[in-house]
A and B are shown apart, each in its own frame.
Chain A
Amino acid sequence: MLDHILSILIFFPALAGVFGFMIQKDGMRAYGVSVAAIEFALSLWLWYAFDGSVSGMQFMESLPLVPSFGINYTLGVDGISLFIIVLAAFFTLLGIGSLTDTANVKYMIITLLFLQMTMVGVFAALDAIVFYVFWELSLVPMVYIIGAWGGPLRIYASIKFFLYTFTGSLVMLVGMLFMAYFYYQATGVWSFGLLDWYRLVLPENLQLWLFAAFFIGFAIKVPMFPFHTWLPYAHGQAPTIGSVILAAILLKMGTYAFVRFSLPLFPDASAFFMIPIAILAIIMVIYTAMVAYAQKDIKQVIAYSSISHMGIIILGTFALNVEGVTGSIFLMLGHGVVAGALFLLVGVIYDRRHTKMMSEFGGLAHVMPKYATIFAIMMMASVGMPLTINFVGEFLSLLGFYQQSHILTLLAGIGIIVGAIYMLAAYKKVFFGEVTNEKNENLPDVNKKELFALVPLVIVAIWLGVYPKPVLDPINNSVKSIIQLMHNKSITELGQERIPDLVKVKEIVIQETTIEEVR
């Protein structure tokens, strides 16, 4: 079973979703929770069985899909993807478990299960086309969740979300086809296998073009400035669960793809574009933080804060050294936990008041102390308080990028200031002061169902802030192999200069698993 654990992880929820159509409405929630729990348990088993000291891919599976065109159903995890998969399973469980009574709960749960399939698929795929399949497929359930259960502008938001990301990924698809073609030219064999592509060294100008093609797809997904405007709408209109999954997992697809595709495939282009992308990332960090400050809607604040944090992740990714990349991957997890929790928290008051405008609230700390406490913890995690999960990621990302550019890191660091500004301001507006609106006077505090989702997140946020080692080590190992691969592949001076040579500095063992070995 362990040999096919990834396939099971991917298709079990989908299958369960199909069977879900047969379940009566009353039992649906229990069914959803149990399926998600099994999935989560499986993902934990995956983690347990994962050998953190190995840098290469594990649990690889390969099945020919369109062998004549080089498309194979290849899966595998390494330290980079493992934890995001676990996180995806975790959040689906929390999401279903804390689902409030909306219309059509049955369809919602089925949709979430399908979404889970696509999420796990994206992170487990080692074939560009399989990756692309899940990548695109993840749009559908999300669009449905936003469009069917969202706010007044839901249709606009969902269409915008779909078209924007769809456009970007189509450009990326063209890039992938080029990549496969170059592989074909070099070897005479078609292949979309990522591990095959890793061995391909491309001339610099091709790298630049392909990098740009992939970049558009990834940047829209992340979303990077100036491609970010779909996100506030999507978050603003999506129901709580939609925002949670979107922020926690779906956005990570973009940044994950940068690490998985852009860096190792185009090391020289990555080095070449490092500074421009870093500048974009800094704009994301500061500009969107300022925009977040101007928001009137608490959910929009968190939506923009997501963009801001994604900026740091991008920055860490393009530090092109072990510290930065590891940090950015860890920050993906961190931001997933924290932003997910914050969206859940916003959902709590939205359920009670059906508004998200901050002006409607004030003084909530009096009536909902537990809620205020959890919110405060998560807010502090969000602003990167040490000993919370986000700090580790942000610290490492910035630390990593500092090696590349001092001044840019300094600018990006402003993010920790402006981040605090909008978060504290929002918190103050909602929680502090006297209770001014009488509708708020008798709001019930968080209930058990909500605690079921929030408490684990608080625990994770602090646990991984204090003791990130079990997660950081496997990530570190995998990142090392990627950085070394990049260094070995880079052909320009710039690349050689910007990407550190780990072998020279310290002995590390790079393991390369290839598809052939698995077959």
Chain B
Amino acid sequence: MEKYLYIALFAPLVSSLFSALFTATPKKMFTGIVASLLIFSSLVSSFVLLMYILDGGEPVHVEMMTWMATGHLYIPFGFIVDQVSVTMMMVVTLVSTIVHIYSIGYMDHDKGFNRFFSWLSAFVFSMMVLVMSDNYAGLFIGWEGVGLCSWGLIGFWFHKEVATWAANEAFIMNRIADLGMLIGIFLVYWNTGTLQYDGAFAAFSTLDTATLTWIGIFLFIGAMGKSAQFPLHTWLADAMEGPTPVSALIHAATMVTAGVYLVVRSGELYDLIPNVGLFIASLGAFVALFAASMALVNRDMKRIIAYSTLSQLGYMFAAAGLGAYWVALFHLMAHAFFKALLFLGAGNVMHAMHDELDPFKMGGLKKVMRWTWIMMTIASLALAGIFPFAGFFSKDTILEAAFAEHHFVIYGVLLFTAGLTAFYSFRLVALIFHGEERYKIFGIHPHEAYRFMLIAMSPLLILAMIAGVFQVPFFEMVEEILNAHEYHIHSHTTLLIMLVGTQVFVALAILYAYKKYASWSSVPDGTSAIENSFVYKLLYNQYYIPYFYEEYIVKSYKEMSEVFWTKVDMKIVDATVDGIAGIIYGTGEKTRDMQSGNLSTMLKWMVAGLVGLLSLAVVFGLAARYSDEILSILSALGV
């Protein structure tokens, strides 16, 4: 099995390096094809491994070589394929294979075609390292690696100012979280003496709660950055400046879920600290609602989907925080499928609309882009959690888990969010595909995407529809290592009421969205009453958080840097040094007149020197001669 492990791991690397060879040359179709094939081979290997694990095989654990070893620290390049990581591997390789193939079409006309595949494959490799590593340090390699590739891919169109800005923002925001992660790793090392998962988990039970809490918090801070949880969420929406396949792969299906993966992976830790878990769950629920609310009014197709991703990540964290790791993981998987599908569909739309993103400028596209319409509708249904699509199985289980754990507030929030999700998803679908063909105003002639792109997307379509089937096998698989409960509400009646109630609520939301937007006819110009209402503005400006960051953090950082340089460094630190030198030089300059060159003055200096010596001599001589008297006087004075 190790062979498959290595293939799964290194095929993307080979793909990346191969494509990298051609980065400086014009587009070469075969780089895309080779890359896709290599990623596909990785998918196949992952599938083989999945089958092996499903068959009840022992987790595959390899230690390739030593990475760092010093003192007591020993970090190998170790990889493990167990139930959790194989799930992630499947998700990653599957979505990436599809995205790769899709990108051959999507990036067709781009100058940086070869470079794109190099970055994309590099990302897959990093993600594989992230999920397959058997220790925190290896995870961190992948963690940073995906950050790097995300930077490269968001800023892929580096001639665009916004794109590069977003890339840097994403990288730096992630770095903030990475610091937390790093501290978490340090804590793990100094308290358990190892960074290997098995060793560390075994040692956790011996540690006191305070330490564990700190570890849990810091690791979660890392997860917050990567998964764009509040308050580090702003980068995700901005990251939509990257090519859409990137958004599909990185900012929907895989990288952003790394945080969830981390929490799931460290489940044994979070089990020991339920308070932190509750915090994670609460934050997740909050983010779910918070992001969904922003998605309600946004006028950027990709951003809406991005907020939706954010919201779904909130769901995952809510589940993971409540200890329902397998549920979180399952939702992660399901979400990957339908969200990637949604993004790729959005990519088709963008392609068709010449990179227009405002859904209000579209409308009626279903006639031109039939398949895309179908796919996006199904993906939205899945997202909304309509039976029998994938989302239903995963999301409802989260609600059940929240209910079963008696966290009714979280349950309520998540339930309400489910309605919002349905609303904004179908607001989007309705605006894009239904109603009047508003794009005609702008003189755009949309067309359907290449066929092979649609074919490439089809596995996702299928999975979005049927992934619910896997719920039980999945549960059975992961329960071996995750502390998994089946969340059964004791009363079947309650369960039924909940299920049906939720479905009805969601369906109502969908209908409302259709009703409101399916026949939309005009492009809003910011004059309507609703657009000027406080709530609308608040939501549209993302609660003014980016504005706050820009005004109060970025600007003040810039100003402070400027002050540090021009004032502190130049005017204080350096000026002190120069000042000392200047004083020495200046003293020389001022006192050089002592050397007046006049002989008489020179002689006077000599005599003055002598007199100086003599006065000292007399003072000292008298003091020495009358030392007894002086001492007695001094002692009389009480000195």
Q: Do chains A and B directly touch (beta carbons under 8 Å) in the complex? A: yes
Is the CB of A291 closer than 8 A to any CB of chain B?
A: yes
By beta carbon, the residue of chain A nearest B111 is A366
The residue from B158, B179, B183, B564 contacting A431, defined by CB atoms under 8 A apart: B158
Q: Would B71 and A294 count as touching, CB distance under 8 A?
A: no
Q: Would A433 and B69 count as touching, CB distance under 8 A?
A: no
Mask, A393-436, CB within 8 Å of B = 1, is 00110111011001001100110110011001100100111100
Is the CB of A392 closer than 8 A to any CB of chain B?
A: yes
Q: Would B158 and A229 count as touching, CB distance under 8 A?
A: no
> Interface with A: B31-39, B60-68, B95-103, B317-325, which one?
B60-68
- Chain B contacts with A in 461-494, Cβ cutoff 8 A: none
Q: Would B564 and A291 count as touching, CB distance under 8 A?
A: yes
Contact status of A428 and B164, CB under 8 A, knowing A229-B573, A417-B175, A467-B65: yes
By beta carbon, the residue of chain A nearest B566 is A294
Mask, B35-69, CB within 8 Å of A = 1, is 00000000000000000000000000000011111
How many Å lie between the Cα of A395 and that of B138 in the bound state?
A: 12
Contact status of A226 and B573, CB under 8 A, knowing A417-B179, A468-B67: yes
Is the CB of A31 closer than 8 A to any CB of chain B?
A: no
How many Å lie between the Cα of A469 and that of B66 in the bound state?
A: 7
Is the CB of B605 closer than 8 A to any CB of chain A?
A: no
> Shortest Cβ distance from A444 into chain B, in angstroms?
13
> Interface with B: A2-10, A64-72, A252-260, A380-388, which one?
A380-388
Chain A residues contacting B566 (CB-CB under 8 Å) are 294
Chain B residues contacting A163 (CB-CB under 8 Å) are 581
Q: Would B179 and A414 count as touching, CB distance under 8 A?
A: yes
How many Å lie between the Cα of A226 and that of B172 in the bound state?
A: 27
Is the CB of B83 closer than 8 A to any CB of chain A?
A: no
Is the CB of A135 closer than 8 A to any CB of chain B?
A: no
Contact status of A473 and B574, CB under 8 A, knowing A290-B564, A293-B558, A433-B161: no
- Interface residues of B, dominant DSSP: helix
Chain A residues contacting B72 (CB-CB under 8 Å) are 322-323, 505-506
Q: Would B71 and A326 count as touching, CB distance under 8 A?
A: yes
Is the CB of A365 closer than 8 A to any CB of chain B?
A: yes
How many Å lie between the Cα of A33 and that of B310 in the bound state?
A: 57
- Chain B contacts with A in 531-583, Cβ cutoff 8 A: 557-558, 560-562, 564-566, 568-569, 573-574, 576-577, 581
Is the CB of A295 closer than 8 A to any CB of chain B?
A: yes
Q: Would A432 and B158 count as touching, CB distance under 8 A?
A: yes
Contact status of A385 and B561, CB under 8 A, knowing A322-B70, A395-B68, A468-B67: no
Is the CB of A511 closer than 8 A to any CB of chain B?
A: no
Is the CB of A53 closer than 8 A to any CB of chain B?
A: no
> Interface with A: B141-149, B248-256, B269-277, B508-516, which one?
B141-149
Q: Would A476 and B573 count as touching, CB distance under 8 A?
A: no
Give B contacts to A, CB under 8 Å: 23-24, 65-73, 137, 140-141, 144-145, 148, 151-152, 155, 158-159, 161, 164-165, 167-168, 171-172, 175-176, 178-179, 182-183, 185-187, 189-190, 557-558, 560-562, 564-566, 568-569, 573-574, 576-577, 581
4 closest residue pairs by CB, A with B = A322-B71, A229-B574, A294-B565, A294-B561
Give A contacts to B, CB under 8 Å: 160, 163-164, 225-226, 228-230, 287, 290-291, 293-295, 321-323, 326-327, 363, 365-366, 369-370, 373, 376, 380, 383, 385-387, 391-392, 395-396, 398-400, 402-403, 406, 409-410, 413-414, 416-417, 420-421, 424-425, 428, 431-434, 466-469, 472-473, 475-476, 479-480, 505-506
List 18 A-B residue pairs with CB atoms under 8 Å apart, sorted by A's residue number: A229-B574, A230-B577, A291-B564, A294-B562, A327-B70, A380-B148, A386-B140, A395-B137, A399-B185, A417-B175, A421-B557, A428-B165, A431-B158, A432-B159, A469-B65, A469-B66, A469-B69, A505-B72
